[in-house]
Amino acid sequence: MAYAYDVVHDTSDPNKVLSEIHRVLKAEKLMADNRRETTLPDNRKHTGSSHHTQRMIISVTVLVQNKGRLSLSTMEAPAFEIYMNDVIGNGFLALSVCVGKEMGLYDEMCSLESPATVQQIADKTNLKERYVKEWLGSMVAGKIVEVDQDSRLYHIPDQYKDYLKNPMITMAPIMTLLANQYRKLKSCFTRQGPNGYDFRGYPEYYSWLESIREVMADDIVDKDMIPHYGDLIDKLTEGAIVADIGCGTGNICIAFAKRFPKTTFLGLDYGGEAIAKGRALVSKEKITNVEFEQVDATDMPQSWGNRFDMAYAYDVVHDTSDPNKVLSEIHRILKADGIFSLVEIDMQSPHYENKGDPMAVMNYTFSMYSCLPNSLAVPPSAGLGACWGVDKIRPCLVQTGFKIVKEEQQTVEPNRHFICKKIVGGMA
């Protein structure tokens, strides 16, 4: 007897392998293939249709809509097994989604005028046919790509194309970047390990951030920031001085600068590589009203006191080691009537408030791999994490000396926008 356990497909010449196995076996002996369904005990056999029917019935009984999010009731063991299998399976699917985005496969397939063969898709993307075929297998199994059984032609349904062109799909590649930090993260979990690691430890993060901000910056500024500024728009139009706290590579700063050419925007970040990329961008686009400086937001120059008409911090305060000090510094550099525009993740801090919310799953996981270790890397640290919650943000702003003029939910990203005014001489 001979057996091959989940390995023949890994060989470079499976036909040759099977021939060799056939050759070394005695006459009339069997080769055991664990993947043949007929070898399963009777109590484990099932037809595909009944399995999927059972799966669907169980899923329907445990998933209900609650306030726009998916709420999970307590599940029995079989239902939980199916749920967890789906979670793990979707994790693998997400990795294939990363490939589709990064390799341009979605872009090219969305532009197809008619269904295409594997070879045609490979030729259009200038990729290897065999790898494209494997990716398509994942996409078909994941119900993102359709294939005709007779013609073997592939296409993306028209109703899916808008999302696959949406900037949010750019989020997918971050999963592979976060996975690169897995060993570091495990070390941070141990009591003997480091407290954290900062963004400067992996420059590819800035490249990803630049790519996602590049496609989203205009919408963020036009749809979720400028419309909430009221009378401040007149000041920005006439000419003001604005600080972008934690600007990264400067995409949002540049978007603002294009709309308000008479206002000077100063992008501030502690990462030298991010600042260098920002300067390269403004040089390339010949933008003259943006400057960049490498500055620690917890310790900005003393000469900047009462200098700025406005400051904004987009999804960054929770990343800092001392958010209270950052907010105090922002308060100090603003003029007496200065405006502070704070954007943070729109979540509540109690875990039970976020049960069944897929965006909360994403935000907590992103924070665990990136935001939290970055904030804990420099002691002493508050270690807020991305999901510190609007219920904690409000008192933090008030205690620092800001009056919250209004709050707005953002539409481009799942954030909350706080428009604040500097109060002189005490808490708001």
pLDDT digits (tens, 9 = 90+) for 307-352: 999 999 999 999 998 999 999 999 999 999 899 999 999 999 999 8
Report the C-alpha gap between 60 and 91 in whole angstroms: 21
Residues of the chain falling short of pLDDT 70: 28-73, 167-168, 200-202, 206, 426-428
The count of other CB atoms within 10 Å of the CB of residue 138 is 17
Burial category of 192 from C-beta neighbours within 10 Å (exposed 0-12, middle 13-18, buried 19 and up): exposed
Cβ-proximal residues to 319 (8 Å cutoff; 6+ apart), any chain = 199, 246, 371, 374, 375, 386
Cβ-proximal residues to 284 (8 Å cutoff; 6+ apart), any chain = none
Report the C-alpha gap between 118 and 182 in whole angstroms: 34
CA nearest 93: which of 135, 154, 48, 51?
Answer: 135
**C-alpha 121: how far from its chain's center?**
27
How many Cα atoms occupy the beta-carbon half-sphere of 271 within 13 Å?
Answer: 25
Residue 226: the pLDDT is 96
Report the C-alpha gap between 138 and 116 in whole angstroms: 17
* Prediction pTM value: 0.78
Q: Which residues pair with 187 in a beta bridge?
A: none
Residue 58: the pLDDT is 37
Report the C-alpha gap between 343 and 420 in whole angstroms: 11
Residue 241: the pLDDT is 98
Q: What domains, with CATH codes, occur in the chain?
A: 2-44 (no CATH), 76-165 (1.10.10.10), 182-422 (3.40.50.150)
Report the C-alpha gap between 26 and 8 in whole angstroms: 20
Residue 42: the pLDDT is 42
**279 neighbors 296 (Cβ within 8 angstroms):** no
Report the C-alpha gap between 151 and 302 in whole angstroms: 71
**What is the 3-state secondary structure of the chain?**
CEECCCCHHHCCCHHHHHHHHHHHCCCCCCEECCCCHHHCCHHHCCCHHHHHHHHHHHHHHHEEEECCEEEECCCCHHHHHHHHHHHHHHHHHHHHHHHHHHCCHHHHHHCCCCCECHHHHHHHHCCCHHHHHHHHHHHHHCCCCEECCCCCCEECCHHHHHHHHCHHHHHCCHHHHHHCCHHHHHHHHCCCCCCCCCHHHCCHHHHHHHHHHHHHHHHHHHHHCHHHCCCHHHHHHHCCEEEEECCCCCHHHHHHHHHCCCCEEEEEECCHHHHHHHHHHHHHHCCCCEEEEECCCCCCCHHHCCCEEEEEEECCHHHCCCHHHHHHHHHHHEEEEEEEEEEEECCCCCHHHHCCCHHHHHHHHHHHHHHHHHHHCCCCCCCCCCCCCHHHHHHHHHHHCEEEEEEEECCCCCEEEEEEEECCCCCC
Q: How many residues does the chain have?
A: 428
**C-alpha 355: how far from its chain's center?**
19
Residue 63: the pLDDT is 40
Pairing of strands 402-409, 415-422: antiparallel
How many Cα atoms occupy the beta-carbon half-sphere of 164 within 13 Å?
Answer: 24
